[in-house]
Structure 1
Amino acid sequence: MSTPIYYTPNLEENGRKLGTVQDITSLSLGVGAGILAPGPLNGFLFYLVGYTLANAAFYTICCQGNGSKYFKSPIMEIFVGNILKNVPEYIMMWCLVYALVK
């Protein structure tokens, strides 16, 4: 089996679309956490579960279950790559909404 050939602009565009989905997901989860007001440990568990489910939906719907067609290393790029990058957005929205609700 030969190695696939990737077109760099397409990989960059796929990464941008994934980044947008992950940004919106982290902000939405932050709003949900602010409304539900979980404790610190449950709040981060809420983030990890929600973030993983959103990425799984992206993989299933957008990548049609074949991430290697759209990303060089799909598991790393989709599920692991930006998980820490989006934590500040999540915490910001969590605190903001919590302050507004309470």
Structure 2
Amino acid sequence: PCYGSLVPRVDRPAAHEHSYDPLSRWSAVAKIERTPRGSKSVEHLSVLRTSDPCYGSLVPRVDRPAAHEHSYDPLSRWSAVAKIERTPRGSKSVEHLSVLRTSDPCYGSLV
């Protein structure tokens, strides 16, 4: 039979089984057994978890007991806490506002 024929294959008893013809079997089975591109083996992931010192490592941080706490490492603590304690751009301190209220001579002053 030619390719694309509607006759069922002779070398397999049921439609859900793969053929024993090497070329057609490889083309059918290769998609199932191929790992996705960029995937890592279990051994590779275990090595990454234990010995990868870079950011985004899968190992939990040792210097804090829980995930919601900040690290005691100065650089990582500053980068985490600086977003919380940073004042908004253009904001003025209380002292600055009090000086503006008392000494601004133009219209629209808060005096």
- Structure 2 length-normalised TM: 0.23
Report the structure number with the largest CA radius of gyration: 2
- Structure 1 length-normalised TM: 0.24
Looking at secondary structure, tell me which structure has more helix per residue. Answer: 1
Q: Greater RCO between the two (CA within 8 Å, min separation 6)? A: 1
